Structure 1
Amino acid sequence: MGAKSPSVSVSKSPRPSHFSMVRSFHLADFLTLGNGICGASSILCSMKYLVTLNVWYVWSAMYFIPMGALLDVLDGRVARWRQRSSLLGQELDSLADLVSFGVAPAALGFALGLQSNLDISCMIYFISCGIARLARYNATVASLPKDGQGKVHYFEGTPIPTSIGIVFLFMYLFSHRIIGYETQPFGELHVGAGFTFHPLALLYVLNGTAMISRTLRIPKL
């Protein structure tokens, strides 16, 4: 009889375990995810306010956004401190920022009375600018000047978290019963046949336009 051919053992790749993707997250990634959770919570609180008119929900919607901003600052510091950064973290950061500083401030404005079709168009423009600004940053960040720690020197256009300025303004106006109580600062304009517009909505247009500017260079702190 002929000699037996040697048996060949086929190694099987390990089967992915449950939550294996989450286990690959760094500490900074969890902070970034917390930022996105704050933004989503703000959106849902704005929606809840429209249903219940309970002012607790609108205040919660406002405060969740600065909480997200704090986590957005911390995730970058933690990533540099632990020297753990990745493409996943960069994409996660952009998605969380879009929710917390793009969609959430727009939902808050709608809950506070900016509800005409022209108001909504301003907020859609603002969100679209945020999307474009984050996409441009991700595409160009590799070519921007950096320091020894890999930190870029400046932003092209205002970063999307600058929309927190709108939120702080809304906090002031709401606390003084100037907005959200069937009244709007600067009143209401009637444009054309059946169209209304609140000039306060122009804040979203200005903020969005600044985000997509190629000439504005904001130093990164």
Structure 2
Amino acid sequence: MSKRTSYAAVAADGAPAKNIDITGESSPPPYDKQKDLLGSDTGHFSLIRAMHLADLITELNGLCGVLSLFSSMRYLIDPSSLGNIYAALALIPLGLFFDFFDGKVARWRKKSSMMGQELDSLADLISFGVSPAIAAFAIGIRTPLDHLCLAFFVLCGLTRLARFNVTATTIPKDATGKARYFEGTPIPTSLALDALMAWWVSKGWIHEAIPFGTLFEGTVFEVHPVVVLFMIHGCLMTSKTLHVPKP
């Protein structure tokens, strides 16, 4: 949720802008150690050495998403073990904690980068896009048409994050430099779906007991109506006109 962008100024075309001193003279941009390390052809573990503390915290967000996927898979192997599906659903909000914390650390240390922004989006896609969709599959939303609807949800999240990376510098900013709003709902709002699925699991409303049952059962159009919630959420994420104020 806490998206990170570079502290360096950028020109209108997205290229790094030159620093301007009070006399109007242009000066070279400040040295970017991370960019130098990433572009280096030599040096052991240069990628690891190039990462900021905030980047490592972002990796923990991605780790939560991956572990959530594994927990859903373990539940598919043994559906009698509800602990695995609860773990899958609980790891998603834990990922949100790291997603929020990495931005705080980046602003505190005043070290942010384009690499951090890309890591943030990729981790969000795993934790808040793919993981909820796989959890939904695990609890029984798994007809062929369900697959397409869940895939639509994930692709909407992917598109929304890509758009954010492209437009991050063009969205109006407040006095502190933070964007004033999100275009479309942020992908971490999929936690609402996560909480809903956790409630269903607690009530035993999974598999054959999923709320609202199944439509067109036994046909190629067999589908669980609740999958529409994922599709609606996907549409909200990709909306251009829906502006969600940043807290």
Query: What is the alpha-carbon distance in structure 2 between the residues aligned to residue 24 and residue 102 of structure 1?
Result: 27
Q: Which residue of 1 aligns with 2:141?
A: 114
Q: Which residue of 2 aligns with 1:101?
A: 128
Does 90-99 or 51-60 show the bigger shift?
Answer: 51-60
Q: Which residue of 1 aligns with 2:186?
A: 159
TM-score normalised by the chain length of structure 2: 0.80
SS in 2 for 1:143: coil
2:48 to 22, 25, 28: 22
Q: Which amino acid aligns with 1:128?
A: L
When Rg is computed on C-alpha atoms for both structures, the one with the higher figure is 1
Q: Which residue of 2 aligns with 1:186?
A: 212
Within 5 Å, which residues of 2 pair with 1:36-185?
A: 36-53=62-79, 54-180=81-207, 182-185=208-211
| TM-fit CA distance, 1:15 | 7.0
Q: Which residue of 2 aligns with 1:201?
A: 227
Query: What is the alpha-carbon distance in structure 1 between the residues aligned to residue 116 and residue 124 of structure 2?
Result: 12
Instruction: String of CA shifts for 1:42-65, please: whole Å, max 9, x gaps.
Output: 011101110122211111101110
TM-score normalised by the chain length of structure 1: 0.90
Q: Percent identity?
A: 47
Does 52-61 or 182-191 show the bigger shift?
Answer: 182-191
Do residues 33 (structure 1) and 33 (structure 2) align? no
Q: Which residue of 2 aligns with 1:220?
A: 246
Query: What is the alpha-carbon distance in structure 2 between the residues aligned to residue 194 and residue 67 of structure 1?
Result: 37
Off by >6 Å, runs of 4+ in structure 1: none
Mark the runs of 5 or more structure 2 residues left unpaired by the alignment.
1-39
Number of paired residues? Answer: 207
Query: What is the alpha-carbon distance in structure 2 between the residues aligned to residue 143 and residue 194 of structure 1?
Result: 45
| TM-fit CA distance, 1:191 | 6.6
For the Cα contact (< 8 Å) 1:80–1:149, is it kept in 2?
Answer: no
| TM-fit CA distance, 1:194 | 3.8
| TM-fit CA distance, 1:219 | 0.8
Instruction: String of CA shifts for 1:9-67, please: whole Å, max 9, x gaps.
Output: xxxxx873332211111111111110001001101110111012221111110111000
Alpha-carbon distance change, 107 to 92 in structure 1, aligned in 2, over 3 angstroms: same
Query: What is the alpha-carbon distance in structure 1 between the residues aligned to residue 149 and residue 230 of structure 2?
Result: 6
SS in 2 for 1:155: strand
Mark the runs of 5 or more structure 1 residues left unpaired by the alignment.
1-13
